């Protein structure tokens, strides 16, 4: 995974340059010191260290429903021996990149970043609120990624956020929020960035505006966050076949097969007498990371799709 690490480091250097340009605008647009530090969600291919190529040809046989397993208080699955599958609700966590495509593999990685506790809380707590639409949860996650001010979210989303996040988490997200930039400011800040980084910065800025002003539909936000068409091969990409399994830290095997960004077929293998038996697989702490860095990283949840 050395290539992925170098790519991530290069991206941080590029963002550091954007940070210096932001400093030049002090007084015009007050923006906190964030681009040279941790991102709200920083998980990337360098964190996806659990894939095992030796298992690519492994066929586990007939599957049981993952939802047949007992759950813990956060919606996680208490593991028993067997091969399980479910189609889970999943979420875009990388605005301004391409959605999944068939034939490309995804690897398990943990949720990391300065807002990791808020992301995990939304994913875990949403299991106990099946009445909350998946689109509302996605918009809250986009708000975190885009650093939108939660106090300024539209009136429909604010009570949803209050159900899924604590007051401390909301206050922390508000402190790290950015102001909405106009087109001239955005162009000035992003004009010299490489195209992939520019697309991400612009998408986050547009989402920040859409989420805190009236009149934007979910389809509008989706069009900004999830790019369509043929995806390029992103810097630092690694070859990950769709058959690739990851060895989850709790001791089971997990494989992700996205069907678009909003749902993922999750396969879980718990071998008899393995250390995973009796432990908990918590989807709310998992991200499916694509081998192609130009594609979406996908937060996982214990909610079934559709749901």
DSSP string, 43-73: --GGG---EEGGGTT----SPEEGGGS-B-T
Contact 166, 121 (CB under 8 A): yes
Give the residue from 119, 123, 106 showing the smallest Cα distance to 51: 106
- Residue that wins the pLDDT comparison between 191 and 12: 191
pLDDT, tens digit, 9 for 90 and up, residues 240-274: 999 999 999 999 999 999 999 999 999 999 999 99
Peptide bond into 306 cis (omega under 30): yes
Q: Could you tell me the pTM of the whole model?
A: 0.87
Most confident of 11-20, 172-181, 285-294: 285-294
- Residue that wins the pLDDT comparison between 96 and 18: 96
pLDDT of residue 3: 34
pLDDT of residue 136: 98
Q: What are phi and psi of 225, to 5 degrees?
A: -80, -35
pLDDT, tens digit, 9 for 90 and up, residues 113-144: 999 999 999 999 999 999 999 999 999 999 99
pLDDT, tens digit, 9 for 90 and up, residues 37-89: 569 999 999 999 999 999 999 999 999 999 999 999 999 999 999 999 999 99
Bridge partners for 255 per DSSP? 267
Domain ranges (residues) in the chain: 2-304
Residue 21 burial (CB count, 10 A) = 15
- Distance, in Å, from the CA atom of 100 to the CA atom of 306, rounded to the nearest integer, reads 18
Q: In this model, does residue 10 exceed pLDDT 80?
A: no
pLDDT of residue 1: 39
Residue 158 is inside which H or E element, if any?
helix 157-164
- Distance, in Å, from the CA atom of 26 to the CA atom of 5, rounded to the nearest integer, reads 32
In residues, how long is the chain? 307
């Amino acid at each position: 995974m050395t290539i992925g690490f170098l790519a991530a480091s290069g991206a941080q250097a590029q963002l550091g340059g954007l940070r210096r340009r932001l400093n030049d605008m002090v007084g015009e647009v007050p923006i906190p010191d964030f681009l040279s530090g941790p991102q709200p969600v920083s998980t990337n291919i360098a964190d996806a260290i659990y894939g095992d190529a030796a298992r690519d040809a492994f066929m586990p046989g007939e599957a049981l429903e993952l939802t047949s397993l007992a759950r813990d208080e956060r919606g996680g699955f208490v593991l028993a021996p067997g091969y399980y599958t479910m189609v889970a609700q999943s979420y875009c966590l990388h605005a301004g990149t391409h959605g999944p495509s068939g034939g490309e593999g995804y690897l398990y990685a943990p949720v990391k970043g300065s807002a990791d506790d808020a992301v995990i809380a939304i994913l875990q707590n949403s299991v106990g609120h099946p009445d909350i639409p998946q689109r509302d949860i996605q918009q809250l996650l986009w708000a975190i990624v885009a650093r939108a001010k939660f106090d300024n979210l539209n009136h429909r989303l604010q009570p949803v956020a209050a159900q899924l996040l604590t007051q401390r988490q909301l206050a922390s997200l508000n402190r790290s929020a950015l102001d909405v930039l106009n087109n001239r400011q955005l162009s000035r800040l992003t004009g010299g960035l490489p195209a992939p980084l520019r697309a991400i910065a612009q998408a986050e800025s547009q989402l920040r505006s859409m989420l805190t002003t009236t009149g934007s539909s979910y389809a509008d936000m989706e069009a900004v966050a999830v790019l369509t068409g043929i995806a390029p091969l992103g810097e630092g990409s690694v070859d990950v076949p769709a058959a690739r399994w990851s060895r989850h830290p709790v001791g089971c095997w997990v494989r992700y097969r996205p069907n678009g960004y909003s749902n993922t077929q999750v396969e879980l293998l718990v071998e008899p007498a393995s250390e995973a038996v009796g432990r908990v697989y918590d989807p709310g702490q998992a991200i499916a990371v694509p081998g192609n860095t130009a594609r979406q990283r996908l937060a996982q949840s214990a909610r079934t799709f559709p749901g």
